[in-house]
Structure formats: structure tokens, C-alpha cells
Structure 1
Amino acid sequence: MLGIGNILHSDEGLGVHILPELRKALHGRERVEIIEGATDGLRLLGPVEEAEYLIVIDAIRAEAEPGTIIVLKGGDIPAYFSRKLSIHQIGFQEVLQAAQWRGKGPKEVMLFGIEPASLAFGIGLSEEVRQAVPALIDAVVGQIERWGIGP
């Protein structure tokens, strides 16, 4: 699992900010590796190539109401977006594409996120995003359980 985002731009830091809560929710699941990807881009290639299943958590701009949970799966995560949905679109998409070119990577990739209310310079999540975090964590834990990755 990768949490990506820039914590200096409010809701853009979602993927990094919620990692401590995800670690608590997933405690005891030894097969789940949680990585703070921040804005590392291609430095994430190794972990992506080694993953059997991959969940990425990020702020996702999809023109929805702020605080809306968005889940994209496999083919719904295009190699190159015609419009930028994720703040890390280029770096993350390049990582996925590079893994595919090398014949490596996860069986399944899912992108979980929340529509940001603010991407302004500042530390911390907006109230809209903060209120949606528990439901996002439940969705992520539910997906891990559907994959059969237990404690």
C-alpha cells in the first residue's frame, strides 16, 4: 500500500496523513506493507514491481463534491489521463507504466482517494476530507479483506 501526497498542500497530503490510522486498522496483517511514498515518483518502482496487490491512496480531483470518496480499479486507472485526476498523475502513472514495460507489477491495482476541498499551501486536511477519512479507511480495509489478506 502506498500513501502518496504532498503534506505542504493541505488535502494533497491525504495519502501520507492517513497512514498512521491505516497502520492501526491493519495491525497484525503481516502481508500488508504500508509505504509512505510522499512525492517520490520513480523511486517507488521497486515496491510497485514487488507487490502482489497494490492500493494507492491519494487526493483525487474528479470534479466531485469535496469529501467524496473515489475508488478506481485497474482499467479505470488510465496509463495517461486526458485530464489530471491525481496530483501525482505523472509520477505515479510513469511508475505503473515502467513496471508493465518490465513485465512486473501487481495482479491488481486500486486507487483510493478523496476529492480535495483545498490544495492551498498549508499543513493538515480540510474538514470535508477529515470527515471522509474513516469511511476511506473502511473501504481500504474491506478491499484487503476481499483479496483474502488476513491477519
Structure 2
Amino acid sequence: MADISVVGIGNIIMQDEGFGVRCAEYLQKITNYPDFVQILDGGTLGMDLMPYIAGTKKLLFIDAIDIDGNVGDFYQFTGDELNAYFKNKMSVHDLGVNDMLAVLKLTDNPVDEIIVMGVKPDVVSMGTELTSAIAEKIEPVAQKVKEVVDKWVEQYRA
């Protein structure tokens, strides 16, 4: 169990819906964090992520965020903004993640800080490749994730 978790969520067979997973895969390749940090492919696991997340103190989700805006727009949600984020999410994995977070609050495993980052998808239909407009967002979003995680690592070591 890790103190800091980064979880890419989404469905990789629904084109841009797989953005979070693809971004997490990229982060796994470019980072070498200590053992107290984990980067996970959460896919569409939803509630089934609980064993991997229990005990985490800092949690960052990467996802395709289908809200008003332009394709490729970056979004970040923290604190009370998370309620609005999950209220607008309708896919099964997002509802499962919201349920999992609620259960963690009721147990001895509360998460101290949660952040959701992602981009507005272009195409969400059958297919295993991200559209070019979204694929080009992996590196800049990964850098934003890395900045947050690097800060958390510093805090952890302090």
C-alpha cells in the first residue's frame, strides 16, 4: 500500500475515454518514484480499486473529463469541486470511484487530499487509439501530475 497514489481511469477501448490510463502508462515510463508512490492503471475498476487505494493519503486521478468546454481543455478539481465533478460523471467506472471514496471516508482509510486532472475528450466511441488532439495532451498533463506528485514527495520526506 502506497501513501501517494496516481490512478489513470477510463476505458481504453473507447478512444479518448482511455486518456487517464494512457497518461498513467506514460508516467510509469518517465518517472522513478520511491516505493511510497504508486502509479496505477485503474481502467474501469471503480469500487474494485479499493484494495489498491486503502491507506493512501494523497490521491490523484487522471481521467477524460467530458464537460462544457473545448476538446483538449485541461481541468483540475480539488476539495468541494470534486462533488460537482462526480455529479456530472455518468460512466460506471466514475460512479464506482465516487462510491469507493465515500466508503473510504466511512472506514479507517480516509484520503487526506484528492485531485482529479484531465482533458475534455474529442471522440468517445469504439476504438483503441486516442485521437491526435487528445494524444498530444498526454505529455503536458503528465508534467502537471508530476509537479503535484513531486511536491507531495517533498512533503512526505519533510
Give the TM-score normalised by the residue count of structure 1.
0.89
| Structure 2: gaps spanning 5 or more residues | 1-5
Q: Which residue of 2 aligns with 1:120?
A: 125
Q: Residues 112 and 82 from structure 1, CA distance in 2 versus in 1: closer, same or farther, beyond 3 angstroms?
A: closer
User: Equivalent residue of 1:104, what SS?
Assistant: coil
Q: Paired residue for 1:59, among 50, 64, 67?
A: 64
Q: More helix per residue: 1 or 2?
A: 2
The separation in 1 between residues aligned to 2:53 and 2:145, in whole angstroms, is 17
Q: Paired residue for 1:72, among 60, 72, 77?
A: 77
Q: Which residue of 1 aligns with 2:3?
A: none
The answer on 1:47 being equivalent to 2:47 is: no
Aligned length: 151
Q: Residues 87 and 62 from structure 1, CA distance in 2 versus in 1: closer, same or farther, beyond 3 angstroms?
A: farther
The separation in 2 between residues aligned to 1:99 and 1:127, in whole angstroms, is 37
Q: Note if contact 2:63-2:116 (Cα within 8 Å) is conserved in structure 1.
A: yes
Q: Paired residue for 1:97, among 88, 91, 102?
A: 102
| Structure 1: gaps spanning 5 or more residues | none
Q: Which residue of 1 aligns with 2:43?
A: 38
User: Equivalent residue of 1:51, what SS?
Assistant: coil
The separation in 2 between residues aligned to 1:124 and 1:87, in whole angstroms, is 21
Give the TM-score normalised by the residue count of structure 2.
0.85
Q: Paired residue for 2:20, among 12, 15, 25?
A: 15
